[in-house]
Structure 1
Amino acid sequence: MPDITNLSIVLAARPEGRPKASDFRIEQSVIPQPADGELLLQVLYLSLDPYMRGRMNAAKSYAKPVELGQVMEGGTVARVVSSRHPDFEEGDIVLSHSGWQSFAVSDGAGLRKLDPSAAPITTALGILGMPGFTAYAGLLTIGRPKPGETVVVAAASGAVGSAVGQIARIKGARAVGIAGGPEKCRFVKEELGFDAMVDHRATDFPEQLRAVCPDGIDVYFENVGGHVWDAVFPLLNEFARIPVCGLIAQYNAVGHDGADRFPTFMREVLSRSLTIRGFIQREFVEQRPAFYREMADWLAFGKILYREDIVDGLANAPDAFIGLLEGRNFGKLIVRVS
């Protein structure tokens, strides 16, 4: 093994509001060596996703927070550099959860071998990975779109939102996307084929959304919260279904605005018979085989397209991640590590 240093990015401080560069720290260490039953991975690509912001907090959540001084967590595509594990060989490409570092030792648990000839390996972090599966399971299990219904999705140019709208159209529904900026809106409308797009930065955003949803909204796939939710909520039809995947507009919030809107919200949930269901994609693990099969077919026949935003260099991950929370990325955000 060449004498190469392992580079890692650890959590240096818990953010208050918007993360800062000083909340991360770059560390160098000796590359670990695998023991019997283990393998050494060289990380090729790192996925950056909004859920990571929650892991930086100490508050109780659906998963353990990253501890101070611990490597930031994240999904990766890696190459097996050396193996003392019977199921893996040098050169294998695997989907792993190695985090923000260039090398990692694994005991093989949770690894999935990838076939580079079947699809670009980066898709295992995007459309054929956790984001794509989140869209698939959340929309079809909770949203349950029917032909002719109106499905609205926030962050429609992102990894999850872009898949949601395209799957909705495959199922015969009308897809309306919400994104920030004319370039993203044009991409989703003209290249991905959504039926309508609205720019949430427009001064008359609520009015524009109402105009493109003349029959109301039957399914709203929530990725954002904030003022986008405020515009969507009045348009929800009776028996509307709302899969709550993320609330990126609120991840950096400190405190609240002081307004107690809960009584009004609950009255509308009751009177309109709304179904609002938060979810984590791992709840639907039994659907993964169907997802891999159907999504591969949709990609092969051009029914679903995707876009990736690739940043070079692990050292640039903190700035790229901060930009993700501000909507600077355009497509699935991935760091090319090696």
Structure 2
Amino acid sequence: MEEIMPLNKGFVLASRPPAGGKATLDNFAPFEEETGDPGPGEVLVRHAFLSLDPYMRGRMDDGPSYAASQEIGKPMIGATVGEVVASRNPGFSVGDKVLGMGGWRLYARDDAALLRKVDASRAPLQAFLGALGMPGITAWIGMHTIIAPKPGETVVVSAATGAVGSVVGQLAVAAGARAVGIAGGAEKCAYAVKELGFDACLDRHSPTFAADLKAAAPKGIDGLFENAGGRIFGACLRRLNTFARVAICGLISSYEGEETSSLPDLRLVLVRRLRIEGLIVFDRMDLWPQAQADLTALYAGGKLKWRESVSDGLDSAPKAFLDLLAGKNFGKQLVRLP
């Protein structure tokens, strides 16, 4: 008797947000479809967790960027971890745990070349979507190839309790640098200092932010890992030391309409000989194995911590994503799939 393949469910991008406006629940639409058997060389993966990330908001717009826009009517893009439930590829067996870009849906039929096996015996499966996956690897690559902190230097990171920023701060501490985080609210700041080991953490909503930053980084800033943009970014730029390095990883505050930054006079770049570099983690795929190995070793040694915000069920994905854009998550935002 032929096996009946399960029904697939998910969300597509139904419409684009208005130019300069905010995404809403109306931009997403549910779908159901037959899963279908894997073709030659393909595997069928049942997703266990879906990652929600700020970059998805940029992909919803129809404009030039480092990657193609999300297509209308197609399943929303997104990294996933799950289990192989059917395979027509000799390199993958039923039961293998894999990382891929399965998107906002329960199942995905994937070319095996687009999947990576992960060892769920070394860490929780969802960790490969967070500190041991793309966000953590982003932090590692930015810190090693751009910031390169020396002992005694000061490194500032925005969105400090997010999936990327939390790893940045811990890597700065491990390098002997002073780690200063920026986060939204007292609870997140307390977590950064007490749990993650930051030397200080500033509330981005503080009316005295500029003075707070000067007090937390009295000798100036040697490395700035930027995830948020906006006026806070401008304030940090003004505290940069000569030969400071800036990694621009994300500008989440601008994704929903806020001005990208309050840039100072660009003579500052010349006078202080600043290095400012955009960071797209997929440009350095050659470093992924080393980064993941180093991060996994830090976790095994108890020197890498993280926190997760988990929403349950695929239907929760659109709202959880909008909450992420509004800064309501705490740590890595995940959707747990039944």
Q: So what's the TM-score if we normalise by structure 2?
A: 0.96
Which residue identity is paired with 2:11? I
Kindly indicate whether the alpha-carbon contact (under 8 Å) linking 2:5 and 2:37 is maintained by their aligned counterparts in 1: no
Which residue identity is paired with 2:99? L
Kindly indicate whether the alpha-carbon contact (under 8 Å) linking 1:32 and 1:104 is maintained by their aligned counterparts in 2: no
Decide which of 201, 224, 227 is 1:223's aligned counterpart. Answer: 227
Matches of 1:285 and 1:36, distance apart in 2? 26
Q: Percent identity?
A: 48
Residue 160 (structure 2) aligns with:
156
SS of 2:102's partner is coil
- Residue 325 (1) aligns with residue 325 (2): yes
Matches of 1:3 and 1:142, distance apart in 2? 47
SS of 1:265's partner is coil
- Residue 136 (1) aligns with residue 148 (2): no
Residue 279 (structure 1) aligns with:
279
Which moved further from structure 2: 156-165 or 305-314? Answer: 305-314
Residue 89 (structure 2) aligns with:
85
Give the superposition deviation at 1:288. 1.6
Residue 174 (structure 2) aligns with:
170
SS of 2:241's partner is strand
After the TM superposition, which segments of 4 or more aligned residues of structure 1 sit over 2 Å from their partners?
A: 1-5
RMSD in angstroms over aligned alpha carbons?
Answer: 1.5
SS of 2:112's partner is coil
Give the superposition deviation at 1:289. 2.1
Residue 112 (structure 2) aligns with:
108
Decide which of 35, 59, 62 is 2:39's aligned counterpart. Answer: 35
Give the superposition deviation at 1:167. 0.2
Matches within 5 A, 1:185-204: 185-204=189-208
Matches of 1:180 and 1:295, distance apart in 2? 26
Give the superposition deviation at 1:230. 2.1
User: Gaps (5+ residues) in structure 1?
Assistant: none
Residue 69 (structure 1) aligns with:
73
Residue 255 (structure 2) aligns with:
251
Residue 180 (structure 1) aligns with:
184
Decide which of 141, 144, 151 is 1:147's aligned counterpart. Answer: 151
What does the per-residue CA deviation read over 1:64-108, in whole Å, with 9 as the maximum and x for residues that have no partner?
Answer: 111110110011002111111111111111001111111111120
Give the superposition deviation at 1:3. 6.0
Matches of 1:38 and 1:47, distance apart in 2? 22
SS of 1:33's partner is coil
Kindly indicate whether the alpha-carbon contact (under 8 Å) linking 2:170 and 2:304 is maintained by their aligned counterparts in 1: yes
Which residue identity is paired with 1:283? D
**How many residue pairs get matched?**
334
Kindly indicate whether the alpha-carbon contact (under 8 Å) linking 1:14 and 1:23 is maintained by their aligned counterparts in 2: yes
Kindly indicate whether the alpha-carbon contact (under 8 Å) linking 1:102 and 1:337 is maintained by their aligned counterparts in 2: yes
SS of 1:159's partner is coil
What does the per-residue CA deviation read over 1:25-68, in whole Å, with 9 as the maximum and x for residues that have no partner?
Answer: 01111122112222111111100000001110110111111111
Which residue identity is paired with 2:333? L
Give the superposition deviation at 1:253. 1.3
- Residue 126 (1) aligns with residue 130 (2): yes
Which residue identity is paired with 1:336? R
Matches of 1:118 and 1:151, distance apart in 2? 30
- Residue 313 (1) aligns with residue 317 (2): no
SS of 2:85's partner is strand
User: Gaps (5+ residues) in structure 2?
Assistant: none
Give the superposition deviation at 1:2. 5.1
Q: 1:86 to 1:14 in 2, by over 3 A?
A: same
What does the per-residue CA deviation read over 1:271-294, in whole Å, with 9 as the maximum and x for residues that have no partner?
Answer: 111110002001222212221221
Which moved further from structure 2: 153-162 or 104-113? Answer: 104-113
Which residue identity is paired with 1:247? L
Which residue identity is paired with 1:191? E
Which residue identity is paired with 2:297? D
Which residue identity is paired with 1:114? V
Residue 300 (structure 2) aligns with:
300
Matches of 2:333 and 2:100, distance apart in 1? 17
Matches of 1:293 and 1:91, distance apart in 2? 23
- Residue 9 (1) aligns with residue 26 (2): no
Which residue identity is paired with 1:318? P
Matches of 2:233 and 2:5, distance apart in 1? 52
SS of 1:69's partner is coil
Matches of 2:285 and 2:111, distance apart in 1? 21
Give the superposition deviation at 1:122. 0.4
Matches of 1:2 and 1:265, distance apart in 2? 64
Kindly indicate whether the alpha-carbon contact (under 8 Å) linking 2:5 and 2:36 is maintained by their aligned counterparts in 1: no
